[in-house]
Chains A and B, each alone.
Chain A
Amino acid sequence: MKKILFIAVFITIGSGLFAQSGKYIKAMEANIAALDSSFKNPQDLLAVANSFERIADKEKNQWLPYYWAGYCQVIYCYMVTDKSGIDPLADKAEKLLNKADSLQPNNSEISCVLSMLATARMLVDPQTRYMQYGMQADNYLGKAILQNPENPRPYFLRGQGLRHTPEQFGGGCKTAMEQLKIAAEKYVSFKPASAIDPNWGEKQNQALINECNK
């Protein structure tokens, strides 16, 4: 009887865990799939962000749900038209990303999103905030490259930033292209660790290259 009980308990826990992780991957995959279409509508994006956050709060020691929730919140910052609303949203994104960072320290992907976050904060008032957040954004990208030289995203983000920086400030297509081309090469060989790991930006990178080639 004891044996049976033991087996029963084992099966219960085991199958629970198995089901759990299957459910986790499935839920994550569903959210990532929903991301692309949600970029058109802030409310959809916020819904996906919250969904990632719920998964994160349930799993607690998975860094990816926090990463994706933070990523969504950062993108959401860029979609908000009322500039005075950006700082509170950025604070929220930062909290999520810090959690991701504590679970997965020194991660190049997290550094990329932290750089995007700094840029979002900078854009609230570029003239005053450039010194602080502009430099921070650039430092994070430098960090991301050091953390994983094969990650295409820091190069893409750097290229994207330069594309939108006036030529007089050292930006423009010419300087952007150097970065975008490196990114394009790295995207070809980049293999995400799993289906739910970050693997975004290739299309946008190509779009920027096409834009600059015009």
Chain B
Amino acid sequence: MRFWLLIFFLVSPAFSWCQVRISGKVTDTRKNPLYGVSIAIKDSYDGTITDSAGNFSFSSSETGNQVLVASLQGYATFQKTISLSPPVQPLDILLKELITELKAVTITAGSFEASDTKRSAVLNSIDVATTAGANADIVGALKTLPGAQQVGESEGLFVRGGSAAESKIFMDGSLVNNFFYSSIPGIATRGRFNPFLFKGTVFSSGGYSAQYGQALSAALILESKDLPDQTEANLSVSVIGLGGGIQKLAKNKRASWGLTYNYTNLGLAFAVIKQKQDYFKKPEYHEADANFRIKTKTGGFVKYYGYLSWNRLGFRTADIDSFALKDVFKLENLNTFQNLTWKDKLGGGWRFQTGLSFSTNKDDIGNELNDEDGQKLIITNPIVYALKNFNVHNRDKYAQARAVVEKKLFALNKLRIGSEYLYSEETTNYVDFQGALFQQTVKDNFFAAFSESDLYITNNIAARVGVRAEHTAILDRWNLAPRVSVSYKLNNSGQFSFAWGIFYQNPERKYLPAAVPNLHFSKAIHYILQYQKMSPERVFRAEAFYKQYSDLYKTSPNLVTGQESVSNNNGYGYARGIEFFWRDKKSVKNLDYWISYSFLDTKRDYLNYPVEMQPNFAAKHTASLVLKKFVIKWKTGFNASYSFASGRPYFNIQYDPVADKYNLRDKGRTINYNALGFSMNYLPHLGKKNAKMFSVLVLTVNNVLGQKQVFGYNYASLNDHKVPITPTSKRFVFIGWFMNFGIDRTEDAINNNL
């Protein structure tokens, strides 16, 4: 009986009469005091939290041996059995930090991220769409970031002294071969894809991951959206065309499909805004895309995206080798792109990502020399006039398969292994002025395998170490490209990153002859050092880089077609520079702005360059200021951007058949580039509850001040006469109305969730 009484007293808290004081201090492993640590006697109400000096003190009515628990988010929970017989000695508690995604440093060297979900993102999809001067073009917006050049005479991303061909673009892991509309002489064509297709964009201006290859300079990695929030329909009307689309979300919210169609015709715009070119066929585009997305039971996604586009245009420009003659350029293009991907979890910390993509491109290009009345003219003496009459029919097919598996190891450490296979078949039919056909087909079987691991040593130090091996049938060679990237976080939310890597690339298709013996990969080595300090409202970043090029392709003329083709790997060069980026959403209310500046010092000897020199696509100084202000009272966003680039070199390189070498006949530097862009978005339905329609009225003006822009010079064939390459019009104005008919299912959502 006495035994039971004892138990009775021990277990019944109502009978506890003694209070014992427990105190101590909590620090991390570096002896820094920890604030807000929860201290508790397990299975009791007794406890407290630590103050800013890490101290705690509380009294407990518990007795005997009890478990003391100290816990704080991001740290391993501490447990210790203590005896609660007074006096209890003060406790010194050490909490070990856990490596968690929220706290761990992110590897950022060389890359800019635009994402709607990730915390390390610098931009989001709305930023891309509303950057003035970018015309809702992804690459247009990226040109306001450091590293990218303001090249206006041809399409592509020119990054840190690299040519457009040295940047590659990937969608959900698959290479996009014809990301831009087909080249038009003297005009920078846009990217084909709508920025709202993507939830994340990583623009890597160097030192990118071993998952990607075949780009000496840069990789643009696009990740498509998951399921839409609701079923909706879109309609757009603008000065350049009409469009419509639908996104249907399944009732169970696990799948969706969508279709869009756009028709663009620049006839109306060109009637008002005078173009440099005299169009006899106004640019006309038909574009359609289709998608489906299925969320799997395990949280993975199957995604399909298919794109089909047909476009044509034709114009005349003044012939450079004569006073009154005209050059005619005609283009008709048919392009398809299809990408099917599946990413999912396998269990046991394994994930996989697979993709299949197939694309085709068909270009029919016609060049003619016309007389004043627009009649075709064949002048055979001198022959250069006759050579202006030709047709090119390009037929390209690409297929790609890709698989990546990822294993999550302890903490955040990960290992990725993957492989990809690419088949390409590119046929060129060149028809000369006499109707002779020169046909050439280049096929490649390209294989790559890579392995990469993310290593988190502590929350403050992380490394990504990877290696990539590639084999290409064109060269019949292997390469091995190691890549390393390390980030170290300081205590004040600043971090240093360093990246190093080797990058290889095949010769460009347009310079590929039938066969060249002993050709190998062109190569670049990147060294990047970065400092970044980031908060949700401010980003500062400084990056210095050095790139060493070797084995760049040199070309020589094909004596039959006059086409330049690769002859050896004797080219070389370097690029070095420093870049700054500052974004601030905080200092001025409702004003968001960013400033970027790039300094670039680069020289190379490649293609037909007679000596090592600064390429014509590289400016020494490039700067951009982007402003975004939303005036709530007017429901209108105002965006402006100012871009500056110092003059770029231009030159006239001519082949001397007698000496069998290229000569630099003329050279110079263009005037500085200045452009002010402006755009306005008016959202009339903003804030109207239960409105079935949401619309945006957009007005954009490029080169508002009409500043003179010269991108380079074209040279005559027979003498040193040169003509500046300028924008097609002084400025361009776009007005559009984008309507979104949300099929609001809020009520359904509530009912389904109940």
A→B interface (CB under 8 Å): 4-5, 8-9, 11-12, 15-16, 18-20, 22-23, 27, 43, 46-47, 50-51, 53-55, 57-58, 82-84, 87-88, 91-92, 106, 124-125, 127-128, 131-132, 135, 138-139, 142-143, 146-147, 165-171
Given contacts A84-B493, A169-B686, contact A51 B47 (CB under 8 A): yes
B44–A54 touching, CB < 8 Å? yes
A54–B47 touching, CB < 8 Å? yes
Given contacts A15-B12, A54-B46, contact A168 B754 (CB under 8 A): no
Measured CA separation A91–B750 after assembly (Å): 23
Most buried by A among B8, B229, B750: B750
B632–A53 touching, CB < 8 Å? no
B688–A46 touching, CB < 8 Å? no
B→A interface (CB under 8 Å): 1, 4-5, 7-8, 11-14, 36, 38, 40, 43-49, 51-52, 73-74, 102-103, 116, 119, 124, 126, 229, 493, 535-537, 592, 632-635, 686-689, 746-747, 749-750, 753-754
The residue from B38, B40, B493, B686 contacting A168, defined by CB atoms under 8 A apart: B686
Closest to B749 in A: A139
A-B contact count (CB 8 A): 120
B536–A124 touching, CB < 8 Å? yes
Known: A43-B49, A84-B119. 10 other contacts (CB 8 A): A16-B13, A47-B48, A50-B47, A54-B46, A83-B537, A84-B493, A88-B73, A132-B229, A142-B750, A165-B687
Give chain A nearest CB distance to B536 CB in angstroms. 5
A131–B229 touching, CB < 8 Å? yes
**A-B contact list, 21 entries, CB within 8 Å:** A4-B1, A8-B8, A12-B8, A19-B13, A19-B14, A50-B38, A51-B45, A54-B45, A84-B119, A84-B536, A87-B102, A88-B74, A106-B754, A124-B536, A127-B126, A131-B229, A139-B750, A142-B750, A143-B753, A168-B633, A170-B687
Closest to B43 in A: A58
A50–B49 touching, CB < 8 Å? yes
Give chain B nearest CB distance to A69 CB in angstroms. 10
A5–B4 touching, CB < 8 Å? yes
Give chain A nearest CB distance to B454 CB in angstroms. 21
B686–A142 touching, CB < 8 Å? no
A146–B46 touching, CB < 8 Å? no
Give chain B nearest CB distance to A91 CB in angstroms. 8
Residues of B within 8 A of A50 (CB): 38, 40, 47-49
Given contacts A16-B13, A84-B535, A106-B754, contact A54 B493 (CB under 8 A): no
Residues of A within 8 A of B635 (CB): 168
B49–A47 touching, CB < 8 Å? yes
Given contacts A12-B7, A128-B126, contact A169 B754 (CB under 8 A): no
Given contacts A20-B13, A50-B38, contact A168 B750 (CB under 8 A): no
A135–B229 touching, CB < 8 Å? yes
Measured CA separation A46–B50 after assembly (Å): 10
B632–A169 touching, CB < 8 Å? yes
Closest to A59 in B: B45
Give chain B nearest CB distance to A2 CB in angstroms. 12
Measured CA separation A5–B687 after assembly (Å): 71
Q: Which 10 A-B pairs have the closest CB atoms?
A: A170-B687, A19-B14, A169-B687, A50-B38, A12-B8, A166-B632, A83-B536, A8-B4, A54-B40, A142-B750
Measured CA separation A15–B12 after assembly (Å): 7
B11–A8 touching, CB < 8 Å? no
Measured CA separation A50–B38 after assembly (Å): 6
Residues of A within 8 A of B43 (CB): 57-58
